Amino acid sequence: MEQNHFDCIVVGFGGVGSAAMRYAALHGWNVLGIDRFGPANNRGSSHGQTRVIRKSYFEHPDYVPLLQDAYECWDELNKRHRTAPEVKELLTQCGVLQVGPEDGTVVRGVLNSAGQHGLAVERFTSDEIHRRLPILNVPDGHVGVFEPEGGFLRVELCVAAMIKQALANGATMKSGVQVNAWQVDDHGTVHLQSNQGSWSADRMIVCAGPWTGQLLEGVDLGLTLLAKQQHWYQLDRVEQKRVNQFPCFLFEQSDGACFYGSPELDTLGMKVCEHTGGRPLESADQLDRGIDPDQQTRVETFLKQHFHFTKQRLVHHSMCMYTMSPEERFILDHHPDHQQIVFAAGLSGHGFKFAPVLGRRLVQMLDGTPDPKFDFLRTPKGDR
């Protein structure tokens, strides 16, 4: 007979939900994970071949201890996942080069985080960057900071590996199942209704990415959505774009616009995206997956300004969504009326690298275990 009651239900198993499922199962809970599109799907925010990971976090030094934990978690997961040399690694440390005006948000922020936490970074002038990576064109007056420990995560492989570990530890998975409603009864039990049945649990973790606002209707989170296009290009200048020859990169321009990418790997070209900008969306279901010519033009203008080549070819593109919180900081919290419900929201386009620590933290929150490393996320931004 199918089981209907669980210790914990996780709604959504993208990056954070798959990690939460895994840690909830490792915690000994009988876990049900539900996702409307299934494992490693290309409909939410955890898809598109790679996610950049870096430790000298320009966004704020308080994220660094979480990143140090995240590196350990990815390493541990990778050891379980990489059962043979031909299995692709989850995390590739090809380094990250972050370029921008010396007093800009990125370079200043990277150096600040590296200085406060004693992280290894190397600083280069525009001439030095050009000598090392001749394909790059860095404007005079802009500098680069190279972080050797940075790199990229293979996003779909990471999600699949976390789900595999969750299942190996006893979790149950329901794919293609959409949660439509939930209630809490007088005994504190959470009841879920979906398009394919109903289940109940003692606790619930909501990791629905861009759909979180819909599932937590009535909780004022101030979330907004941006449609973001990921592009893969083949440039006619082939040297130094492939992995092991070229790092991930992030360029802040003088006007504050920010572009980033990862080296060419597998059969796709070099990935290039804009971190700033994006098209506002009313709801996640409204996303148009066709190509957005404005985002393409902005990325191609960036490429022409900062890379030397004569011809480029867009070989692939894919639409994704940023779920923005008002201050671009992650929101990890209990439901205001139900302590047995926790959620992660508003990862603001930089959450994947933290997925295992966020998933683990959600489980700890339900368990009542404190972790002061996360306290900064609750402090008003001006006080940090």
Can you give the binding site for ligand FAD, defined by CB under 6 A? 11-12, 14-17, 34-37, 41, 43-46, 48, 51-52, 178-179, 207-211, 215, 228, 230, 273, 320-322, 344, 347, 349-353
**Shortest distance, position 180 Cβ to ligand FAD, whole Å:** 7
Contact partners, residue 256, CB within 8 Å, separation at least 6: 104, 105, 276
How far is residue 286 CA from its own chain's centroid? 21
Residue closer to ligand FAD (CB basis): 281 or 344? 344
Provide the token pair at 354. 């933290």
Provide the token pair at 183. 């209630």
Residue closer to ligand FAD (CB basis): 11 or 342? 11
Residue closer to ligand FAD (CB basis): 129 or 208? 208
- CA of 99: how far to CAs of 125, 176, 240, 339, in Å? 10, 42, 17, 43
Residue closer to ligand FAD (CB basis): 15 or 100? 15
Give the separation between CA 305 and CA 237, rounded to whole angstroms.
Answer: 15
How many Cα atoms within 13 Å fall on the side-chain side of residue 100?
A: 23
Q: Is 374 helix (H, G, I), strand (E, B) or coil?
A: helix
**Shortest distance, position 201 Cβ to ligand FAD, whole Å:** 14
Q: Is 321 helix (H, G, I), strand (E, B) or coil?
A: strand
**Shortest distance, position 109 Cβ to ligand FAD, whole Å:** 15
**Shortest distance, position 40 Cβ to ligand FAD, whole Å:** 9
Residue closer to ligand FAD (CB basis): 107 or 215? 215
**Shortest distance, position 197 Cβ to ligand FAD, whole Å:** 12
**Shortest distance, position 331 Cβ to ligand FAD, whole Å:** 11
The alpha carbon torsion through 318, 319, 324, 328 (nearest 10 deg) reads 20
Give the separation between CA 64 and CA 58, rounded to whole angstroms.
Answer: 10
Give the separation between CA 325 and CA 225, rounded to whole angstroms.
Answer: 9
**Shortest distance, position 250 Cβ to ligand FAD, whole Å:** 9
Give the separation between CA 50 and CA 190, rounded to whole angstroms.
Answer: 35
Residue closer to ligand FAD (CB basis): 17 or 109? 17
Give the separation between CA 342 and CA 176, rounded to whole angstroms.
Answer: 22
Residue closer to ligand FAD (CB basis): 44 or 144? 44
Q: Is 179 helix (H, G, I), strand (E, B) or coil?
A: strand
